Amino acid sequence: MGGRARRLGWAAWVLGPLGLVGLLGSVVWLGSTYRSVTVSSSGMTPTYAIGDRVFIERVDGDEVRRGDVVLYSLPGRYRGQPVVQRVVGLGGERVAHEGGASGPTLVNGRALAEPYVKDGVANGGPPYDVRVPRGRLFLMGDHRANSNDNRYFADDHGGSVPFDAVDGRVVDGVARPVAVAVGGLAGLGVALTGLGCGIAAATERRRAAHLRMAGWAIPQ
């Protein structure tokens, strides 16, 4: 019986901390890497509608690429509230449109394929011609005729947004955070198993102590 108690005790010491590390690690990683926000405007339709919840992966502005949808906030715009818009131009690029709704967005003079825009209309707002400064991004909503985006802030660096205004990038797939969450649940299961082993070990020791007091031989 003493040997069984020792084995259970060792299992408790190994499984309990191991499971807690897995659980806490997944919680900390998810909390520091992902967040969710609710879309509050129609500027990104049809990709995202008002009320949609989207997952945001925390990344720096220099990690995003054209076509990414990002969450950003900037003092002096939208009352400082975070907004979701799509990256169209990168630092050093010229982004332009001469007006009207039918023509494409031009990046360095070449038409940009944008299958995500509402009704295939790539513009519909004011004409613009912006050389995006280095370290900044030019963003627009997918509903170009109904998006108060970078085109309307031309007096501030051509409307562009600095890297440090980016809070994160929208991720459409949730496989990675779900996998980490499942790993955290597995860690919880291991920790509970360790707790069970600890309780069983304590029970075995109490039984052994009672048997000794009664004068019984204790099997090993």
Average pLDDT for the chain: 82
Q: Are 18 and 7 in contact (CB under 8 A)?
A: no
Choose between 193 and 54: higher pLDDT. Answer: 54
> How much is the pLDDT for 213?
67
Choose between 177 and 93: higher pLDDT. Answer: 93
Instruction: Give the C-alpha separation, 131 to 134, whole Å.
Output: 9
Average pLDDT over every residue of 163-178: 80
CB count, 10 Å around CB of 41? Answer: 19
Q: Are 47 and 147 in contact (CB under 8 A)?
A: no
> How much is the pLDDT for 10?
72
> How much is the pLDDT for 179?
60
Q: Examine the pLDDT at 83 and tell me if it is beyond 60.
A: yes
> How much is the pLDDT for 217?
47
3-state secondary structure at position 34: strand
Choose between 138 and 122: higher pLDDT. Answer: 138
> How much is the pLDDT for 205?
73
Instruction: Give the C-alpha separation, 218 to 220, whole Å.
Output: 6
Average pLDDT over every residue of 104-108: 94
Q: Calculate Rg over the CA atoms of the chain.
A: 28
Torsion of CA 96, 60, 50, 55, to 10 degrees: 140
